[in-house]
Amino acid sequence: MAAIDGLPPLREVIASHGLSAKKSLGQNFLLDLNLTARIARAAGDLSGMDVLEVGPGPGGLTRGLLAEGARRVLAVEKDSRCLPALAEIAAAYPGRLEVISGDALEVDALAHLRPPIAICANLPYNVGTELLVRWLTPRDWPPVWSTLTLMFQREVAERIVAQPGSKAYGRLALLVQWRCEARIVLSLPPEAFTPPPKVSSAVVHLKALPEPRYPADAAVLERLVAAAFNQRRKMLRAALKGLAPDIEARLEAAGIAPTERAEQVSLEQFCRLARELAR
Ligand code: SAM
């Protein structure tokens, strides 16, 4: 049975183009178009937006993004075997899908798009985290993109939205939450993918704040948070002693007990300490 966009079901697409999943490229495909439409909807209202999709594969999510009304989709795919299948989607949506064949870590795809921009991807875990960190640390803030809607391993998604006092709380939570609103919008079991991965996954939606939640110098904050969580079991006066000779006094000036551990310190407190250290 043909799908609503008149294109064949994804199982047929995969069979006719010989897209057997490659482990080396982290290929776990989503074949249920209802599910890919839900992920596209989780990205918010896409009408009037340019969308960057990384790793379209056979195009399930791409079809969701186009059907949900994206003004234009630019998709970057490393596996050239997927290009003919993506060309069929481009033909069904004239002028709205462009595909770049290449490695998303090497292509400056955002330079090809016009704001407002949404980024949406179901990517291998290592590539996804690396791209996330890059998207969160542009030279200037706000970034050119408005939202990120990304699939991660459930455990990574939990680290992104973690709050103080939890095991998952750390550098990633602070990096994300300093400059974005972040929430988990969808959880998926391994069986949602073909082939199924070993662990569960979750889609995280991030919205860029117009400016960071609290003032702080980005480099100082990053150094501070890295030092604090590199030795997360230690008291901060010990974990941070390399950052300033009078670290106890600085911690107290920022309203943080020197005996506190990183896991208990809020984003606002870290930002206060970063300002204190930059003085
Ligand atoms: N988006 C499709 C879906 O949801 O069914 C495919 C998802 S699959 C988890 C990851 C996709 O990312 C694969 O198509 C893979 O070839 C592609 N990929 C892996 N590394 C990449 C990279 N560095 N740059 C661009 N695409 C990459």
Interval 46-83: pLDDT, tens:
999 999 999 999 999 999 999 999 999 999 999 999 99
The answer to whether residue 197 sits within a structural domain is yes
> Percent of the chain, pLDDT > 70?
99
- Closest residue to atom 11 of ligand 1, CA basis: 55
Contact present, 168 and 162 (Cβ < 8 Å): yes
Torsion of CA 229, 127, 221, 117, to 10 degrees: -140
The arithmetic mean of pLDDT across residues 108-115, rounded, is 96
Residue 55 annotated as binding site: yes
Task: Find, among 252, 187, 179, the residue nearest to 212 by Cα.
Answer: 179
Which numbered atom of ligand 1 lies nearest the CA of 31?
Answer: 5
Residue 47 is predicted with a pLDDT of: 95
> Percent of the chain, pLDDT > 90?
96
The answer to whether residue 42 sits within a structural domain is yes
C-alpha of residue 124 to centroid of ligand 1, in Å:
6
Residue among 77, 80, 119 to mutate when testing ligand 1 (max atoms within 8 A of CB): 77
Mark which of 158, 178, 208 sits at the end of a domain: 208
The answer to whether residue 213 sits within a structural domain is no
Are residue 253 and residue 197 in the same domain, yes or no? no
Tens digit of each residue's pLDDT (9 = 90 or more) over 239-263? 999 999 999 999 999 999 999 999 9
Does 265 sit in the ligand 1 pocket, CB within 6 Å? no
Residue 59 is predicted with a pLDDT of: 98
Tokens of 233: 């079991």
Does 128 sit in the ligand 1 pocket, CB within 6 Å? no
Does 76 sit in the ligand 1 pocket, CB within 6 Å? yes
Does 105 sit in the ligand 1 pocket, CB within 6 Å? yes
Specify the CATH number for the domain of residue 192: 3.40.50.150
Are residue 134 and residue 269 in the same domain, yes or no? no
Tokens of 218: 């980005």
Are residue 84 and residue 172 in the same domain, yes or no? yes
**Number of structural domains found in the chain:** 2
Mark which of 161, 190, 208 sits at the end of a domain: 208
Are residue 148 and residue 243 in the same domain, yes or no? no
Specify the CATH number for the domain of residue 272: 1.10.8.100
Cα–Cα distance for residue pair 198/195, rounded to 1 Å: 10
Write the burial class of residue 65 (CB in 10 Å: 0-12 exposed, 13-18 middle, 19+ buried).
buried
Are residue 94 and residue 226 in the same domain, yes or no? no
Are residue 147 and residue 239 in the same domain, yes or no? no
Residue 77 annotated as binding site: yes
Residue among 19, 35, 122 to mutate when testing ligand 1 (max atoms within 8 A of CB): 122
Does 54 sit in the ligand 1 pocket, CB within 6 Å? yes
The arithmetic mean of pLDDT across residues 90-115, rounded, is 97
Write the burial class of residue 25 (CB in 10 Å: 0-12 exposed, 13-18 middle, 19+ buried).
middle
C-alpha of residue 236 to centroid of ligand 1, in Å:
40
Domain ranges, residue 239:
218-278
Residue among 11, 13, 25 to mutate when testing ligand 1 (max atoms within 8 A of CB): 25
pLDDT at 4 over 80: no
Residue 5 is predicted with a pLDDT of: 87
C-alpha of residue 58 to centroid of ligand 1, in Å:
9
Are residue 199 and residue 238 in the same domain, yes or no? no
Are residue 14 and residue 56 in the same domain, yes or no? yes
Are residue 274 and residue 201 in the same domain, yes or no? no
pLDDT at 2 over 80: no
The pTM assigned to this predicted structure is 0.96
Does 170 sit in the ligand 1 pocket, CB within 6 Å? no
Does 124 sit in the ligand 1 pocket, CB within 6 Å? yes
3-state secondary structure of 195: coil
DSSP state, residue 22: P
Mark which of 188, 208, 228 sits at the end of a domain: 208
Are residue 79 and residue 42 in the same domain, yes or no? yes
Tens digit of each residue's pLDDT (9 = 90 or more) over 187-235? 999 999 999 999 999 999 999 999 999 999 999 999 999 999 999 999 9
Are residue 197 and residue 225 in the same domain, yes or no? no
Are residue 185 and residue 136 in the same domain, yes or no? yes
Residue 103 annotated as binding site: yes
